[in-house]
Structure 1
Amino acid sequence: MHIPDNYLSPQTCITMFVAMAPVWAISISKVKIQIKEKKETVPLLGIASSLSFLIMMFNLPVPGGTSAHAVGGTLLAILLGPWAASLSITVALLLQALLFGDGGILAFGANTFNMAFIMPFVGYFVYSLFKRFNHEKFGAFIGAYFGINLAALIVGVELGIQPLLFKDGSGNPLYSPYPLSISIPAMTSTHLLVIGWIEALFTILVFSFVKKSSPNSIYLASHESKSNIKKLLTRFYILISSLIILSPLGLLASETAWGEWSPSDILSTLTKNGLNPHIPTGMVNGFNFKPLLPDYSLFGVSLPVGYVFSAFSAVIILFILFRVIAHEKSKTA
């Protein structure tokens, strides 16, 4: 679901940045108020970003010879509220793009729109509907399933409109070459059949796990006892540590996620889909960013060790980042 650079036109990328700008502005404003009212929001923001980051490292093989991953968008929205979830996922996606090259720099607006806006807000809306009728757990499950599937549909649309709108003088696509008739079924089928259920299952498991420590919704409760919060944070630290250790399991899916192929690999996929085997010039001559740790690898060590190092490093960075933000906020308060 991480759209790489040069799959979307510059015009599309700018449009998506503009669409996300007010979301980021409101998220920051809402989270500032939330931190002032509930001090436990600060460590939970670091936990939320870390959880989303780590979940996305666990790629799973899906039908069609590709891979995909869960995100945890609805889960974070339930735990912290949709605005804080949006901010947490945005930060996780930014770290992935800058440090590991997972998702494009220019496509950052589109990726955050899909995973940090559509997913948590749609998922939370569905969850809230069921919560009104005292079906909180079922609402969390269904919300997570709908949230990630709608996000996948929008990714399919974003990719599929590129060959309609942006062509060279010969009529060949300049960017993503897959039409809507291919991109939408490819994105939606894998998430409807596999990843949506994984997202929903993970959401309900962690949701149940949280409810044991914090019977009230963290986001909606007026307050939580210090003992409950301490117990909850301890359990989250254990969960995050476990995910870091288990992160190399994400390497079991060696296939590339659909629509994330490099230009050198794209010819075979075009031929497989019955399309003109022509590498779009926008991909060949487009923006090329060199991350420090590409694909979560570390030079000179095995892939599993590199994966664990990347996961651990990202979690430390995220926790430090939110601590610094909280410290600066306290100084200006």
Structure 2
Amino acid sequence: MHIADGYLSPATVAVSYAVAVPLWVYGFKKLKEKLNEETLPMIGALAALSFVIMMFNVPVPGGTSGHAVGAALIAILFGPWVGFISVSLVLLIQAIVFGDGGISAWAVNSLAMGFIGSFVGYYVFKLLKDKTKFAPFFAGYISIVTAALFVGIILGIQPIFWTHNGHPLYFPFSLKISVPAMVGEHALFFGIVEGIFTQLVYNFLTKKENEKVAA
């Protein structure tokens, strides 16, 4: 789902950073409120786990790539703002160190996987947690599919607005290709992986917490 440098117009990049920067500032404030001796190791471990699973990229025809993210899991356990900032930092490290996603696209990638992924996952979980034991699965699944939809739309509008002599200047494929490619792959495969990952890790951590309380 990482968007690389050169796929987005300068106008798209500028708008995305204008939206993301104040969200990052506020998100860091919310993160600081959550950090203490108990939460810091767990948040760090979950961010590292997110880093690892996002490194397993599979190319998506007409889009960018597909992979699990882990944003919903962090959001469920520590709140959506923590999920947003954690995933944003992971994406920054991946872009700088591994060239996985571009610096110019960092804001869009963070808004998709970090902000949308975290907030959608968090509120889906809240809505379903008293109705089904599979709430973490649905939270992970819906969060990543929604993030993929956002990426598909951002990519697909590039050739609509930015062309020269009829040729796209940046990402070349239209919404008819980018949206089905991104949403289809994540709905049929990566969303299921994300849902299972979220469910299993959530169950494991809550079981450990319950055992600690019981002891």
TM range (shorter): over 0.9
1:140 and 2:136 matched: yes
Task: Tell me what 1:26 maps to.
Answer: 26
Give the Cα–Cα distance (whole angstroms) in 2 for the partners of residues 61 and 160 of structure 1: 17
Structure 1 residues 64-108: Cα deviation after superposition (integer angstroms, max 9, x where no partner): 9x9621001111111221111111111100000001100001111
Q: Which runs of 5+ in 2 are unaligned?
A: none
Q: 1:10 deviation in Å?
A: 0.8
Q: Between Structure 1 and Structure 2, how many residues are aligned? A: 214
Where in structure 2 are the equivalents of 1:78-227 lying within 5 Å? 78-131=76-129, 133-135=130-132, 137-168=133-164, 170-215=165-210
Give the Cα–Cα distance (whole angstroms) in 2 for the partners of residues 61 and 171 of structure 1: 27
CA contact (8 A) 2:152 2:175 kept: yes
Q: Secondary structure at the match of 1:21?
A: helix
Q: 1:189 deviation in Å?
A: 0.7
Q: Which runs of 5+ in 1 are unaligned?
A: 217-223, 229-333
Q: 1:21 deviation in Å?
A: 1.5
Tell me the TM-score normalized by structure 2: 0.93
Give the Cα–Cα distance (whole angstroms) in 2 for the partners of residues 165 and 155 of structure 1: 16
Structure 1 residues 240-286: Cα deviation after superposition (integer angstroms, max 9, x where no partner): xxxxxxxxxxxxxxxxxxxxxxxxxxxxxxxxxxxxxxxxxxxxxxx
Give the Cα–Cα distance (whole angstroms) in 2 for the partners of residues 86 and 203 of structure 1: 16
> Structure 1 residues 15 and 120 mapped into 2: Cα distance closer, same or farther (>3 Å)?
same
Q: Letter of the 2:156 partner, please give it.
A: G
Q: 1:199 deviation in Å?
A: 0.4
Structure 1 residues 153-192: Cα deviation after superposition (integer angstroms, max 9, x where no partner): 1111000000000011x12111001001111111111011
CA RMSD of aligned residues (A): 2.1
Q: Letter of the 1:207 partner, please give it.
A: Y
Q: Secondary structure at the match of 1:4?
A: coil
Q: 1:60 deviation in Å?
A: 4.7
Give the Cα–Cα distance (whole angstroms) in 2 for the partners of residues 60 and 181 of structure 1: 21
Give the Cα–Cα distance (whole angstroms) in 1 for the partners of residues 10 and 65 of structure 2: 26
Q: 1:193 deviation in Å?
A: 0.7
Give the Cα–Cα distance (whole angstroms) in 2 for the partners of residues 67 and 166 of structure 1: 23
CA contact (8 A) 1:62 1:194 kept: no
Structure 1 residues 110-131: Cα deviation after superposition (integer angstroms, max 9, x where no partner): 0000011000110110000112
Tell me the TM-score normalized by structure 1: 0.61
Give the Cα–Cα distance (whole angstroms) in 2 for the partners of residues 149 and 184 of structure 1: 11
Task: Tell me what 1:256 maps to.
Answer: none
> Structure 1 residues 108 and 67 mapped into 2: Cα distance closer, same or farther (>3 Å)?
closer
CA contact (8 A) 1:5 1:106 kept: yes
Q: Letter of the 2:161 partner, please give it.
A: L
CA contact (8 A) 2:60 2:181 kept: no
Q: Secondary structure at the match of 1:7?
A: coil
Q: Letter of the 2:202 partner, please give it.
A: F
Q: Secondary structure at the match of 1:215?
A: helix
Larger radius of gyration: 1
Q: 1:19 deviation in Å?
A: 1.1
Q: Secondary structure at the match of 2:172?
A: coil
Q: Letter of the 1:75 partner, please give it.
A: L
CA contact (8 A) 1:145 1:200 kept: yes
Runs of at least 4 residues off by over 6 Å: 61-64
CA contact (8 A) 1:162 1:177 kept: yes
Give the Cα–Cα distance (whole angstroms) in 1 for the partners of residues 61 and 3 of structure 2: 19
CA contact (8 A) 2:120 2:143 kept: yes
1:51 and 2:46 matched: no
Q: Letter of the 2:21 partner, please give it.
A: A
> Structure 1 residues 67 and 166 mapped into 2: Cα distance closer, same or farther (>3 Å)?
closer
